[in-house]
Amino acid sequence: METVVSGIRPTGNLHLGNYFGALKNFLKMQQEHHCFFFVADYHSLTTHPTPFDLHKNIKQVLVEYLACGLDPEKATIYIQSDVPETTELYLLLNMNAYMGELERCTSFKEKIKTQQNNVNAGLLTYPVLMAADVLLHRATKVPVGKDQEQHLEMMRTFANRFNRIYNVEYFPEPHAFNFGEALVKIPGLDGSTKMSKSENENSAIFLADEPAAIRKKVMRALTDEGPKTPNEKKPQAIENIFNLMSALSSKETYDHFNELYNTCQIRYGDMKKQLAEDAIKFTEPFRARISELMSDKEYLHKVVRMGAEKARESAGKTVREVREIIGFKSF
Q: Are 143 and 177 in contact (CB under 8 A)?
A: yes
Min separation Cβ 144 and ligand TRP, Å: 5
The CB-nearest residue to ligand TRP is 7
Closest CA to 218 of 260, 265, 281, 261: 281
Residues sharing a CB contact under 8 Å with residue 242, sequence separation 6 or more, in sequence order: 234, 254, 257, 258, 261
Sheet holding 175-176: strands in order across? 76-79, 34-39, 3-8, 141-142, 175-176
Min separation Cβ 119 and ligand TRP, Å: 18
CB count in 10 Å sphere of residue 221: 24
**Residue 85: exposure state from Cβ atoms within 10 A (0-12, 13-18, ≥19):** buried
Does residue 286 sit in helix, strand or coil? helix
Residues 39 and 55: their CA atoms lie apart, in Å, by 11
- Of 134 and 322, nearer to ligand TRP (C-beta) is 134
Residues sharing a CB contact under 8 Å with residue 234, sequence separation 6 or more, in sequence order: 227, 242, 261
Residue 197 annotated among the catalytic residues of the structure:
yes
Selecting among 24, 74, 194, 317, the annotated active-site residue is 194
Selecting among 59, 197, 217, 272, the annotated active-site residue is 197
Does residue 5 sit in helix, strand or coil? strand
- Of 66 and 135, nearer to ligand TRP (C-beta) is 135
- Of 134 and 244, nearer to ligand TRP (C-beta) is 134
How far is CA 28 from its chain centroid? 15
Residue 111 annotated among the catalytic residues of the structure:
yes
Does residue 145 sit in helix, strand or coil? coil
Residues 110 and 108: their CA atoms lie apart, in Å, by 5
- Of 5 and 83, nearer to ligand TRP (C-beta) is 5
Min separation Cβ 247 and ligand TRP, Å: 23
Min separation Cβ 63 and ligand TRP, Å: 18
Residues 261 and 254: their CA atoms lie apart, in Å, by 11
- Of 148 and 318, nearer to ligand TRP (C-beta) is 148
Residues 162 and 59: their CA atoms lie apart, in Å, by 35
Min separation Cβ 293 and ligand TRP, Å: 22
Residues lying near ligand TRP in the complex (CB under 6 A) are found at 5-7, 9, 40, 43, 130, 133-134, 142, 144, 148
Q: Are 89 and 5 in contact (CB under 8 A)?
A: no
Min separation Cβ 145 and ligand TRP, Å: 8
- Of 40 and 293, nearer to ligand TRP (C-beta) is 40
Residue 281 annotated among the catalytic residues of the structure:
no
Strands (E), 134-226: 141-142, 175-176
Selecting among 24, 56, 109, 111, the annotated active-site residue is 111
Min separation Cβ 43 and ligand TRP, Å: 5
- Of 238 and 322, nearer to ligand TRP (C-beta) is 322
> What are the catalytic residues?
111, 194, 197
